[in-house]
Structures are given as C-alpha cells and as structure tokens.
C-alpha cells in the first residue's frame, strides 16, 4: 500500500483542539453576550464546569462570563455617572466594546482558538 492510497482521508485533529459541537457552543456563548448579557455564559459554564472533556468550552464560557460581568459593572457605573452626563458616553463605549469583542471572541471560538478579552475582571476562576 502506497502513501497515495488514502489521499481523501481527513487529517487527524491536532491535540487539544475542541470538537465542532464545542466550537459552535463557544461561538454562541460569546455572541450571546451582545443580547443576553451574562445569562447564557453563566448557564453554559454551570452545565459544563464538572465535565473534564468539556474543559475548552468551560474555559471559554468563563472568559465570556467574566467579560460580561465586567461590562455589567461598567454599565452600572455609567448609569450612576449619567447624572453628570458622562455616563451616557461610558455606556456607549462599553456597548460598542461589547459588540466588537464578542464578535472577535465568537470568531476565535469557532476556529477552536482560546480567546482572551483584552480587559475583563477575572472574577470566576
């Protein structure tokens, strides 16, 4: 048997890569923060935190959860500071950051890459 007999076989997945199902759930976890805030990442993390085979998905849901909690804190500060009119600007910037970084995180998760948000309080470890 020559090396060309099995040309159509798919190459094995690199070690440490996430299955397609986990990558899709990771994509949805990151993108759900745009609409649902921290609820979906929290649910995904709670469901998968005790499953060792879902370690990549657990890591990504924790990362998305930490980012959404950070944004929630920023939104509350923005609401408090809206009395002096700077809060609306803070909330607008936080909302734009949420959209941009959630999309970047979702695309990275869909590729199977572990994404880290540039600013997030690591409250869930």
8 A C-beta contact, residue 81 and residue 94: no
pLDDT of 30-76, one tens digit each? Answer: 999 899 888 999 999 999 888 888 888 999 999 999 999 999 999 99
pLDDT of 84-101, one tens digit each? Answer: 888 889 999 999 999 999
Burial 93-106 (b: 16+ CB within 10 A, else e): ebeebbeebbeebb
8 A C-beta contact, residue 110 and residue 18: no
8 A C-beta contact, residue 22 and residue 54: yes
Q: Give the C-alpha separation, 62 to 41, whole Å.
A: 7
8 A C-beta contact, residue 71 and residue 98: yes
8 A C-beta contact, residue 31 and residue 102: yes
Q: What is the pLDDT at residue 125?
A: 80
pLDDT of 24-35, one tens digit each? Answer: 999 999 999 899
């Amino acid at each position: 048997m020559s090396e060309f007999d099995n040309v159509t076989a798919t190459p094995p997945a690199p070690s440490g890569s996430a299955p397609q199902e986990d990558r899709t759930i990771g994509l949805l976890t990151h993108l759900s923060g745009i609409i649902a805030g921290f609820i979906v990442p929290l649910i995904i993390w709670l469901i998968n935190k005790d499953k060792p085979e879902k370690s990549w998905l657990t890591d990504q849901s924790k990362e998305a959860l930490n980012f959404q909690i950070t944004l929630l804190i920023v939104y509350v500060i923005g609401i408090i500071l809206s009395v002096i009119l700077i809060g609306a600007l803070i909330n607008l910037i936080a909302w734009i950051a949420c959209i941009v970084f959630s999309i970047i995180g979702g695309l990275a998760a869909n590729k199977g890459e572990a994404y880290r948000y540039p600013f997030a309080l690591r409250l869930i470890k």
